[in-house]
Structure 1
Amino acid sequence: MAIVRPFRCIRPAKEFAGRIAALPYDVYSRSEAKQEVEREPLSFLRIDRAETNFDDDVDTYDERVYKKAKELLENMIKDGYFITDNDECYYVYELVMDGRAQTGLVACASIDDYLNNVIKKHENTREDKEIDRIKHVDICNAQTGPIFLAYRSQQTINEIIDKVKKEEPLYYFTSTDGIGHHVWRIADGEKINVIQKCFDGIREIYIADGHHRAASAVKVGLKRRGDNPGYTGNEEFNFFLSVLFPHDQLMILPYNRTVADLNGYTEEEFLKKVEVNFVVTKLGKEPYTPKEKGEIGMLLNGYWYSLKAKDIIRCSNDPVKSLDVSILQDYLLEPVLGIKDPRRDKRIDFIGGIRGLKELERRTSKDMKVAFSMYPTSIEELFAVSDAGKLMPPKSTWFEPKLRSGLFIHALS
């Protein structure tokens, strides 16, 4: 059973919501974050990436950066840019991209559910990235970026959310990237109780995006438990800010790959090596998106190819080995191109599907030799890997649209 509870939300005053809401902190480089804050001084990036307030010679992870984030957040609350709701509520958050909507429930999930594997993971985390968010959350005394969770769709929850969406929204704005953001509040006690009981009957929740934020929130909670040995389990630090989406509303885009060279092979030698495990069809110069699972698009020397994995390598029942990104890695990237560790190999780069195939063409004309367009991993595949207690290869999924930071803040005390 999953614990998903309402909370007292710190959120933007209505007139500032569209200006404050910001893409997640980790989609920007330092220079990009600084440019965004210069463009929009109210952007929550000013808090999420507080190094933007310092000269470039101040380290991103300097203690002063986290103290500045706390100061900025407290000042924006004091100055009325943020308000705090009096009651514990759920919130409904709808994002609309290209006419397609996905709607999630904003709530707090339990760190115990994370520790007990009710909340399932599919990705490893890096300690350096965790430490950054641990310091940010602990010093700010607040979680400012929600974790993107998924659950198997429940009709009762869907019906309640559909009714709430017919009410007047708290926020209704379009961000500069064209994404619509609509927010409603659920304050009715009966609706809250029904939603909580529905989640009581859900045995698995999945991290779709935000593994580092989740791990950091949990470690801050455990630290505070250690500092407060008489804790009851109901304190806010026992929970972390989340947006939970039913699985049938989510869209996963592919995570494409580019490689800098052919590992010493000529083009002809390389294609012969690829043909050992794939049926290779030369298509032409029009960008090519794979049409089905088991097919990979390849761009080489200005021409697109279809690579269809042969049956002998598609028959695995292992939920990780059967992923298209695993097939590419295990039967082409490693044995042919010599990329044994895609996390560390400098010859490979990963291109989020939102950037399109034109980006693959640009990179192969600039600094890369070959590119691969992937068929997207499905949410069912993500669930299967997580249920098996396994991990996906790096850069297996790209979720769009991205949740905004700064719309919902969860104070830890």
Structure 2
Amino acid sequence: MAKIIPFKAVRPVRDKVGLVASRSYQSYSKAELKARLEYNPFSFLHIVNPGYKYDKNIRGKERFNLVKNRYLEFKEDAIFIQDETPCYYIYKIVNRDGNSFSGIIAAASTEDYKNDVIKKHEDTIEYRENIFKDYLKTVGFNAEPVLLTYPDNTTIKTVISEVQKERAEYEFTTHFRDTHYLWLLKDAKLIDKIKHEFEKINTIYIADGHHRSASSCLLSEDLKSENNQHTGTEAYNYFMSYLIPESELKIYEFNRLVKDLNGLTKEAFLIQLDAIFRIEKRGKELYKPTQKHHFSMYLDGDFYSLFLRKTNHQFNTALDALDTQILHKTVLEPILGITNVRNNTRISYSHGQNDLVTIKSKVDSGEFAVGFGLVPITIGELKAIADNHLTMPPKSTFIEPKLRSGITIYEF
């Protein structure tokens, strides 16, 4: 039984939302970030990069305090307003590829996260959890929802469709040509209808935002221990989420690039691969795999198809059957000597929105020796990993939609 509740969002005034909304600041190049900060005084980047005001790179607790100050200034300047009553926020994104995502921004329960109603499929790093928990505790708000996915639900879909017939509170297009829409759902009867539908759902899955979820859970424990009058209804018992149906989640693959062949010649490398895969040389043809356990490889100017020899490979768990795990256990670790894919500088990744030309160009340039193309992981595989309390290898999924920061803000 999932507890998904409305909340009173802090959000930009209508005429400034397109200027406020930003991507995650880590995704900007230095030049792009500088331009945004220099020419757009309303960007949310000013809040999360408070050192720009002093031309200084500020870190740690000092940065957290300045983030809070910049946030309060945006509120004082009436760039942000807060809704007077709790709402669900119907949010739609149409990206430049024509994919459309419609869901609900709401508050999800940290108890559900702890009790495995909200399930994860990735490992989190403890020090990152604690850093972000301390950040949240200091600034008192979260501005980027966790992406959650739930089984398709006809009633919720009908409510969303009805609300979207009205004029949107927000409608703006980004530099990436993604168009964003937001509607406020205030009607008490419709709010109750959605709340009760989520209560019927036994399991919801984290699609993106594992560290934010874990940090929010740690924060709730901290604030609970400090509150002698804790009731369980406090805002810190929830975290902001964007919930979309499973059918609308778009999962891309993460392809692999490796800098060298671990001391092997091309011929010796291919001979070792032959024990694991049926190999076909495709030449200059851009070969993209279309079936599970099939891989493409680009090496020394040629594409190859690699078909796993299943007689030599047993699938005892959902993780064993995952293509990213298969590639790691059969090639990356035993042949190419990459044991820790999270931190090894010899490996890099290119998500599936970049086509195979990206792999080809990076290998042809000499930056990498070999590249591997994979088939995207399915929602069924993601759920099987989570249901069995397993974790995927790093960089197994590139998931859309990608959300903007600063459109709805959840205060603790």
Within a 5 Å distance, the mapping from 1:18-33 to structure 2 comes to: 18-28=18-28, 33=33
Cα offset, 1:162, TM superposition: 1.0
Task: Give, as a single letter, the amino acid of the residue that structure 2 aligns with 1:63.
Answer: K
Give RMSD over aligned pairs. Answer: 1.7
Partners of 1:318 and 1:54 lie apart in 2 by 53
Structure 2 regions of 5+ residues with no counterpart?
none
Comparing 337-346 with 100-109, greater Cα deviation is found at: 337-346
Task: Report if aligned partners of 2:352, 2:398 keep a CA contact under 8 Å in 1.
Answer: yes
Secondary structure in structure 2 of the residue aligned to 1:355: coil
Cα offset, 1:165, TM superposition: 1.0
Cα offset, 1:155, TM superposition: 1.1
Partners of 1:54 and 1:301 lie apart in 2 by 49
Match of 1:324 in 2: 323
Task: Report if aligned partners of 1:320, 1:392 keep a CA contact under 8 Å in 2.
Answer: yes
Alignment CA distance shift 1:306-1:53 (3 Å): farther
Within a 5 Å distance, the mapping from 1:335-374 to structure 2 comes to: 335-364=334-363, 365-374=365-374
Q: Which of 82, 85, 88 is the matching residue for 2:86?
A: 88
Secondary structure in structure 2 of the residue aligned to 1:381: helix
Match of 2:114 in 1: 115
Alignment CA distance shift 1:48-1:312 (3 Å): farther
Match of 2:103 in 1: 104
Partners of 2:405 and 2:360 lie apart in 1 by 32
Secondary structure in structure 1 of the residue aligned to 2:353: helix
Give a deviation string over 1:45-102, Cα, whole Å, max 9, x none. Answer: 222344444545x35x332211111111111111111111111000111111211101
Q: Please state if 1:182 is matched with 2:181.
A: yes
Cα offset, 1:250, TM superposition: 0.8
Task: Report if aligned partners of 1:48, 1:144 keep a CA contact under 8 Å in 2.
Answer: no
Question: How many residues are paired up?
Answer: 410
Task: Report if aligned partners of 2:249, 2:401 keep a CA contact under 8 Å in 1.
Answer: no
Within a 5 Å distance, the mapping from 1:65-80 to structure 2 comes to: 65-80=63-78
Secondary structure in structure 2 of the residue aligned to 1:331: helix
Task: Give, as a single letter, the amino acid of the residue that structure 1 aligns with 2:271.
Answer: K
Partners of 1:29 and 1:379 lie apart in 2 by 31
Partners of 1:226 and 1:111 lie apart in 2 by 15
Comparing 227-236 with 342-351, greater Cα deviation is found at: 342-351
Task: Report if aligned partners of 1:33, 1:52 keep a CA contact under 8 Å in 2.
Answer: no
Alignment CA distance shift 1:224-1:239 (3 Å): same
Partners of 1:222 and 1:323 lie apart in 2 by 34
Cα offset, 1:235, TM superposition: 0.7
Cα offset, 1:229, TM superposition: 2.6
Cα offset, 1:333, TM superposition: 0.9
Cα offset, 1:284, TM superposition: 2.2
Cα offset, 1:362, TM superposition: 3.0
Q: Please state if 1:264 is matched with 2:263.
A: yes
Partners of 1:295 and 1:40 lie apart in 2 by 47
Match of 1:393 in 2: 393
Partners of 1:314 and 1:196 lie apart in 2 by 45
Partners of 1:255 and 1:40 lie apart in 2 by 33
Give a deviation string over 1:202-246, Cα, whole Å, max 9, x none. Answer: 111111101111111111111111110321000111110000110
Alignment CA distance shift 1:260-1:241 (3 Å): same
Normalised TM-score (structure 2): 0.95
Task: Report if aligned partners of 2:108, 2:240 keep a CA contact under 8 Å in 1.
Answer: yes
Comparing 316-325 with 386-395, greater Cα deviation is found at: 316-325
Cα offset, 1:157, TM superposition: 0.6
Task: Report if aligned partners of 2:110, 2:237 keep a CA contact under 8 Å in 1.
Answer: yes
Match of 1:4 in 2: 4
Partners of 1:54 and 1:265 lie apart in 2 by 51
Task: Give, as a single letter, the amino acid of the residue that structure 2 aligns with 1:163.
Answer: E
Task: Report if aligned partners of 2:314, 2:320 keep a CA contact under 8 Å in 1.
Answer: no
Task: Report if aligned partners of 1:69, 1:136 keep a CA contact under 8 Å in 2.
Answer: no
Alignment CA distance shift 1:351-1:53 (3 Å): farther
Match of 1:146 in 2: 145
Match of 2:219 in 1: 220
Secondary structure in structure 2 of the residue aligned to 1:287: coil
Partners of 2:42 and 2:287 lie apart in 1 by 40
Normalised TM-score (structure 1): 0.95
